[in-house]
Amino acid sequence: MRRMLVTGAAGFIKSNILGTHSLLKAVRRVWQIKGLAPDDHRFRHVSTDEVYGTLSLDEPAYTATTAYAPNSPYSASKASSDFLVRSYHHTSTVRTICEMPCSVRNKL
């Protein structure tokens, strides 16, 4: 298995976890102050397919039911932010949608 040198993990934690939490708190507060109906608004969270781990060429594609298996500090921080968004969706008036675009990289 190939190992990556990890540098700058604190930046991922700050932007992906703390940043997402700050945005969720701000959105909830603004919607409460303005008296906006929860069903009329959504918090759109963009994640990454890297939260599902790494696929080899012979493995099937990820689906929405694939278990999380982050393999780097970046993908772990994105998974953490996904869980924060999910928790706000289930425990507050903030309605959310989470998108997970595919990151495709090929060696040339």
Q: What are the Cα distances from residue 31, in Å, to 17, 24, 83?
A: 21, 11, 21
27: in domain: yes
Q: Residue 29 belongs to a domain with what CATH number?
A: 3.40.50.720
Three-state secondary structure call for residue 64? coil
Indicate which residues carry an active-site annotation: 49-50, 74
User: What confidence tier does 89 reach under pLDDT thresholds 50, 70, 90?
Assistant: very high
41: in domain: yes
Model pLDDT for residues 2-33, shown as the tens digit of each residue: 555 567 789 999 999 999 999 999 999 988 88
Where in the sequence is the domain holding 53, given as residue range(s)? 11-57+64-99
> How confident is the model over 81-92, as a mean pLDDT?
95
pLDDT of residue 3: 57
Q: How far apart are CA 64 and CA 10, in angstroms?
A: 28
3: in domain: no
88: in domain: yes
50: in domain: yes
Domain count, the chain: 1
pTM of the predicted model as reported, rounded to 2 decimal places: 0.83
